[in-house]
């Protein structure tokens, strides 16, 4: 059996045969996630001025803190890009290093988000306070759940790479799918930061 046929059997086709079916299928999954977030953004747009006599985004949001977590997530996209470059070069230790840096940045982002949620709820601005806050918590919380899933996925891949002696084509496919997912979350968060946070305080 030729090398190309072997790669196709593993779900990774050679470059001249196009994109891996696994990666293509993951693109289709991301399209469904686009629909989900589009619906959540639309819901927030409808409810963004429904404060029920409570606090507005200008009263509640700390833009400097949100900018810090935004920077961490954006930098994590760059570090994951370095992990992918290392993976294509089959530099296993470099892949592990960049994945660990990416994980730390993602965990920092998530910790900051949870801290913001806890402060809002402690101050009486929970999701049950107004339609504005309900839509805010739903949109930002859904993104946070996706980041959590990405971190779990990343930890599993790190453990797998640690046990492996080399970066296989199957490993490269898995890393590519997570790369798509992680960059997608970055794009969504740019929309959240711009539309939800900046749009609420300006």
Cα→Cα distances 93→42, 97, 152, Å: 43, 6, 20
Inside any domain, residue 55: no
Cα→Cα distances 190→37, 66, 69, Å: 12, 11, 11
Cα of 3 vs its chain's centroid, Å: 34
Mean model confidence pLDDT for the chain:
90
Residue 81: pLDDT above 90? yes
Range(s) of the domain holding residue 88: 68-197
Cα(172)–Cα(118) distance, rounded to whole angstroms?
Answer: 38
Inside any domain, residue 53: no
Which residue has better confidence, 125 or 16? 125
Of 150, 124, 100, which Cα lies nearest the Cα of 51? 124
Residue 3: pLDDT above 50? no
- What is the number of domains present in the chain? 1
The pLDDT tens digits of the residues spanning 42-72 come to 999 999 999 988 889 999 999 999 999 999 9
The pLDDT tens digits of the residues spanning 158-181 come to 999 999 888 989 999 999 999 999
The answer for residues whose C-beta is within 8 angstroms of residue 95's C-beta and 6 or more apart is 83, 86, 87, 161, 167, 175
Inside any domain, residue 136: yes
Which residue has better confidence, 5 or 112? 112
Give the domain CATH number at 112: 1.20.120.80
Residue 1: pLDDT above 60? no
């Amino acid at each position: 059996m030729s090398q190309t046929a072997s790669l196709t059997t593993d779900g990774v086709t050679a470059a001249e045969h196009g994109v891996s079916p696994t990666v293509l299928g993951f693109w289709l999954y991301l399209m469904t996630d686009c629909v989900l977030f589009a619906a959540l953004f639309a819901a927030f747009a409808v409810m963004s001025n429904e404060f029920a006599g409570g606090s507005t985004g200008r009263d509640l949001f700390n833009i400097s803190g949100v900018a810090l977590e935004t920077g961490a997530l954006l930098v994590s996209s760059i570090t994951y890009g370095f992990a992918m470059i290392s993976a294509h070069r089959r530099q296993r230790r470099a892949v592990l290093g960049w994945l660990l840096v990416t994980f730390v940045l993602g965990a920092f982002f998530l910790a900051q988000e949870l801290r913001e949620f806890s402060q809002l709820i402690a101050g009486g601005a929970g999701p049950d306070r107004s339609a504005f806050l309900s839509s805010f918590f739903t949109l930002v919380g859904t993104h946070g759940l996706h980041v959590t899933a990405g971190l779990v996925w990343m930890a599993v891949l790190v453990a797998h790479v640690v046990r492996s002696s080399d970066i296989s084509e199957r490993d490269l496919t898995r890393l590519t799918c997570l790369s798509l997912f992680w960059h997608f979350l970055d794009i969504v968060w740019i929309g959240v930061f711009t539309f939800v946070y900046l749009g609420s305080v300006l």
